[in-house]
Structure 1
Amino acid sequence: MKRILSGIKPSSEILHLGHYFGALKQWVGLQKTHTCLFPVVDLHALTIPQDPQKLRESTTNVAKTYLAVGLDPKKSVIFKQSDVVAHLELFWILNTITKVSELLLMTQYKDRVQKNGPQSALAGLLNYPVLMAADILLYDTNFVPVGDDQVQHIELAREIARRFNQKFGQTFVIPQPMVEKIGARIMSLDDPAKKMSKSDSNPNSCIALTDKPAVIREKIKRAVTDSGKEVKYDPKKKPGISNLLTILSLVLNVSIKSLEKKYKGAGYGRFKSDVADTLVRFLSDFQNKYNKISDARVKKVLADGARKARKTAEKKIEEVYKKVGLK
């Protein structure tokens, strides 16, 4: 079977609808047809300052979310990135064949520099696409499920792999990005021009998977719409309503067209109320499962997964060391 690798960074306690429809739901399906590795990529979280205790808690919560949505440790390798030291070993070697000019072109780095100035950008933020390449190439990954904002990083990983293969001989599989087009672009509730993000300073901008019913209803009630009344999908003229239609269509697994027909003449009040009620029902099953998963179970799953991941990773790093002359 073809190999899949993707992970979530535990840089916040919040995992939201965008994570579920843009990544997690897709992963659950992929584990039935592919060999899958799903790390919690905790090393990537260090690109911005972290409180150590909160990072530990967030790492546990991300792993707990993996299990609650249906990722199965018997079918997939679920592990903590930092538990497999080969990620860092390969990262350094790949760093030595990556051009600084390539890293300076990465959108997320440029955005941070533009927003906060060059003094705010740490070397880890500049280099993290190389660590991402190491994560992927270490396991001979065929496909990488990502959001469309990460495709640029997969292209860099592909270039690094080609460069290494040309210089040292065939070593790495060239990975392909796998983008979930619809779920990957759930937008912010308070600013539908930007993607829903766990790092947003406004807590009302996203629906966390663990939000309580009253919180969900309040966030949907406050969600930005427009001065009109028609429930119609038009991302340019009605981005807020279009975002809520996208969310409802994903939750119910029905077409946006059918929802437009259903809510024709209904007005925003009824529509928002239905969106909120639907989300409350949808997330209740996940939350029940999430709350039953103990930290001890998470610890065991991550330890077992790390042992499995190391077997593959250590073989690859041994091959790489020989190719570059370290062994």
Structure 2
Amino acid sequence: MDKPAFTPRVFSGIKPSGGLTLGNYLGAIKRFVDMQGGEFETIYCVVDMHAVTVWQDPKDLHHATREVAAGYLASGIDPDKSILFNQSRVSAHAELGWLFNCVARVGWMNRMTQFKDKAGENSEGVSLGLYAYPALMAADILAYHATHVPVGEDQKQHVELTRDIANKFNHDYKVDFFPETIPVIEGPAMRVMNLRDGTKKMSKSGESDMERINMTDDADKIAKKFKKAKTDPDGIPETLEGLDGRPEARNLVNIYAALNDMTNEAVVAEYAGAGWGKFKPALADLAVEKLAPISIEMQRFMDDPAEIDRIMAKGAAKAKAIADPILDKTFDIMGFVR
């Protein structure tokens, strides 16, 4: 029997905990914008239910949810081209998440490296949600029969788990109901690193504000942070291999390439032999050109929270129109009396 043809559909989301950084923009949001209006139906979510796997101050969560939505909109996510909403407005995520808890195996969860990283030595004291959240992530994706998920390298394992859950469900119930989702990992700066330590990922929770570019930073802050970013004594090499073992240098080249839609090789070719006194101001100017308008537009949206809420409510209605029938069919397949 021929397998069903699934609508080419993209799903991805960002967790509202802390503020958005350049890493969120280059690793996720910029790619979301680029995928709009093409061959895919695009669905983008503020995954607020994932945020509460660790305790969140309610006021902070409220603000951060709107801020992520503002970041999406200010960066170019168009509510007429994409579906944009916050996860908790669509109950299919939580309901399908429970069903997938009963499909996923404990051994699969034990292999999730992100849980080990986040729980550390306190694995007995963290929430059950933090342990089981990959099943909810699978539900986020499969509630829309999403065929592609743009993710960073650190989330690839969770998309692979989503495929395992889909395959086991299809096998156990002898159906071809859920698609095998493909992780989309591409581009020069999918993992943006710390501006003060190139061996660490740029983080919302880092000790110093100088180690990250916040999407709310104004032009002066953006320029200052890049000009003061850590480098090394050597300048831009003649070839890409010359960046090996130089994490801070590689990070700045990666960022320039991603902001300017270039390859890393093209950046090295353009600036070969240049010192940091030339390259960092050029990077600062480019970053201000690309990011400062987003910061201004984010603030405009944050000054009108009712507009953000209206857009997310409208998006949630569109999301429910896709997810609810898929959830209902899942219940039917599993034998629930509805």
Which is worse superposed, 280-289 or 155-164? 280-289
Aligned residues of 1:109 and 1:121 also touching (Cα < 8 A): no
Runs of 4+ displaced beyond 4 Å: none
Matched, 1:326 2:333: no
Q: Distance in 2 between matches of 1:316 and 1:6?
A: 18
How has the CA–CA distance of structure 1 residues 156 and 259 changed in structure 2, closer, same or farther, with 3 Å as cutoff? closer
3-state SS of the aligned residue for 1:177? strand
Aligned residues of 2:188 and 2:263 also touching (Cα < 8 A): no
- Corresponding letter in the other structure for 1:219: K
Q: Which residue of 2 aligns with 1:251?
A: 259
Q: Which residue of 2 aligns with 1:282?
A: 290
Aligned residues of 1:22 and 1:185 also touching (Cα < 8 A): yes
Gaps of 5+ in 2: 1-6
| Residues 158-197 of structure 1: pairs in structure 2 closer than 5 A | 158-170=163-175, 171-197=177-203
Q: Which residue of 1 aligns with 2:65?
A: 59
Deviation at 1:257, TM superposition (A): 4.1
Q: Which residue of 2 aligns with 1:304?
A: 314
Matched, 1:313 2:323: yes
Q: Which residue of 2 aligns with 1:93?
A: 99
Q: Which residue of 2 aligns with 1:237?
A: 245
- Corresponding letter in the other structure for 1:27: F
Matched, 1:134 2:139: yes
Q: Distance in 1 between matches of 2:285 and 2:333?
A: 58
Matched, 1:214 2:220: yes
TM-score (norm 2): 0.90
Which is worse superposed, 64-73 or 252-261? 252-261
3-state SS of the aligned residue for 1:163? helix
3-state SS of the aligned residue for 1:38? strand
- Corresponding letter in the other structure for 2:329: E
Deviation at 1:269, TM superposition (A): 2.6
Q: Distance in 1 between matches of 2:258 and 2:171?
A: 43
Q: Distance in 1 between matches of 2:272 and 2:141?
A: 46
Aligned residues of 1:23 and 1:180 also touching (Cα < 8 A): no
How has the CA–CA distance of structure 1 residues 89 and 190 changed in structure 2, closer, same or farther, with 3 Å as cutoff? same
Which is worse superposed, 165-174 or 75-84? 165-174
For the aligned residue pairs, the C-alpha RMSD in angstroms reads: 1.8
How has the CA–CA distance of structure 1 residues 64 and 103 changed in structure 2, closer, same or farther, with 3 Å as cutoff? same
Q: Distance in 2 between matches of 1:50 and 1:286?
A: 26
Deviation at 1:23, TM superposition (A): 1.4
Q: Which residue of 2 aligns with 1:11?
A: 17
Q: Which residue of 1 aligns with 2:45?
A: 39
Deviation at 1:94, TM superposition (A): 0.7
Residue of 146, 150, 157 corresponding to 1:152: 157
Aligned residues of 1:235 and 1:243 also touching (Cα < 8 A): no
Which is worse superposed, 28-37 or 270-279? 270-279
Deviation at 1:220, TM superposition (A): 1.9
Q: Distance in 2 between matches of 1:216 and 1:278?
A: 10
Deviation at 1:120, TM superposition (A): 4.2
How has the CA–CA distance of structure 1 residues 261 and 160 changed in structure 2, closer, same or farther, with 3 Å as cutoff? closer
Q: Report how many residues are paired.
A: 324
Q: Distance in 2 between matches of 1:182 and 1:265?
A: 21
Q: Distance in 2 between matches of 1:258 and 1:315?
A: 47
Q: Distance in 1 between matches of 2:208 and 2:106?
A: 34
Gaps of 5+ in 1: none
Deviation at 1:111, TM superposition (A): 1.3
Q: Which residue of 2 aligns with 1:117?
A: 122
Aligned residues of 1:37 and 1:78 also touching (Cα < 8 A): yes
TM-score (norm 1): 0.93
Matched, 1:80 2:53: no
Q: Give the % identical residues.
A: 39
Which is worse superposed, 201-210 or 315-324? 201-210
Q: Distance in 1 between matches of 2:67 and 2:101?
A: 31
Aligned residues of 1:8 and 1:40 also touching (Cα < 8 A): yes
Deviation at 1:325, TM superposition (A): 2.1
